[in-house]
């Protein structure tokens, strides 16, 4: 996640935010095209989910493991993504998870399996609690979509994929901006009961909205949703619309290409202290992920 913090709610041009605006969406106009209800047990469905592995970005403290039940598992009702404090005895090395790491978590994604352009996206989740936790539900434009063969591109030190020698170094900044990123939900454990939306990929200000939830987001489920159209994106917390982001020719529009979903818990990082080990493990519990497209 590329981070540009905006500490207060702002009105940026046409970016409209309203904490109390009803988030009504006419479900009759949408058709379900992809989902995971997590009504099975074991590893997340490999036909739908892949993994990041390693220390990926932002000098975070956690090591993302690959295909490890201790960090990502389905219990018959929900997907559990677990942030753990390990000991040398608890971390059993495998061919995919090499040596002991103090903190481990999972970052599951649809990168090589599914991506979408426009639609309604709903994720019903409970979040991890306590300082040091940094869960996120977010979307990136893939460099390797499901119909493009070949391995993923290598990573740069900050976790972004290296676009390779065909992109001159002087042009790489614009290249990244043009790809876009949608952070449907980010939350920092040291800011209780608050979640944010961030949008990256415009030449102007990065629109954002933060929402102070009236309910306990750690022990109660909340639906994090967005309606993505060719000319705007609306963001919701349950039935509350917290951001309307319209297409604006003056700032550019990066959101007309396929994007894939990432769900992860980070630990520490540039805007969050190290966790209190006594509060671990912590979980992001996901009831379902549903993707809709407009009916023809």
Nearest-CA neighbor of 185 among 201, 170, 198?
198
Report residue 174: phi and psi, to 5°.
-65, -35
Tally the C-alpha atoms within 13 A of residue 134's C-alpha that lie toward its C-beta.
21
Cα distance between residue 3 and residue 80, in whole Å: 25
Q: Encode 33-59 in three state secondary structure.
A: EEEECCCCEECCCCCCCEECCECCCCC
Tokens of 127: 């979040």
> Which residues have a Cβ under 8 Å from the Cβ of 72 and sit 6 or more positions away?
43, 44, 51, 65, 79, 80, 81, 82, 106, 108
User: Which residues form the catalytic set?
Assistant: 181, 186
- CA triple 196-5-202, angle to 5 deg: 85
Asked if 259 contacts 115 with a C-beta cutoff of 8 angstroms, the reply is: yes
Q: Is the peptide bond before 163 cis (omega within 30 degrees of 0)?
A: no
């Amino acid at each position: 996640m590329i981070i540009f913090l905006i500490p207060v709610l702002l009105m940026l041009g046409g970016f409209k935010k309203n904490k109390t605006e009803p988030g009504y969406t006419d479900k009759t106009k949408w058709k379900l095209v992809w989902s995971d209800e997590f009504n099975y047990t074991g590893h997340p469905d490999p036909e739908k989910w892949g993994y990041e592995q390693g220390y990926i970005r932002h000098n975070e403290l956690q090591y993302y493991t690959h295909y490890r039940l201790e960090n990502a598992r389905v219990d018959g009702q929900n997907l559990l993504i677990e942030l753990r404090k390990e000991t040398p005895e608890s971390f059993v090395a495998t061919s995919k998870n090499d040596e002991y790491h103090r903190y481990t978590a999972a970052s599951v994604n649809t990168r090589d399996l599914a991506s979408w352009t426009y639609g309604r996206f709903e994720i019903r989740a409970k979040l991890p609690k306590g300082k040091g936790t940094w869960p996120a539900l977010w979307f990136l434009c893939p460099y390797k979509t499901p119909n493009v063969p070949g391995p993923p591109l290598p990573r740069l030190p900050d976790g972004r994929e290296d676009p390779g020698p065909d992109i001159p170094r002087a042009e790489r900044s614009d290249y990244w901006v043009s790809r876009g990123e949608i952070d449907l939900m980010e939350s920092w454990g040291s800011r209780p009961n608050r979640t944010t939306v961030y949008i990256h990929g415009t030449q102007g200000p990065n629109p954002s909205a933060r929402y102070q939830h009236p309910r306990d987001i750690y022990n109660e489920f909340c639906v994090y949703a967005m309606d993505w159209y060719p000319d705007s994106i609306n963001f919701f917390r349950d039935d509350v619309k917290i951001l309307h982001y319209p297409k604006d020719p003056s700032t550019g529009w990066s959101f007309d290409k396929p994007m894939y979903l990432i769900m992860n818990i980070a630990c520490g990082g540039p805007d969050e202290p190290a966790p209190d080990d006594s509060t671990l493990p912590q979980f992001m519990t996901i009831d379902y992920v549903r993707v809709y497209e407009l009916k023809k």
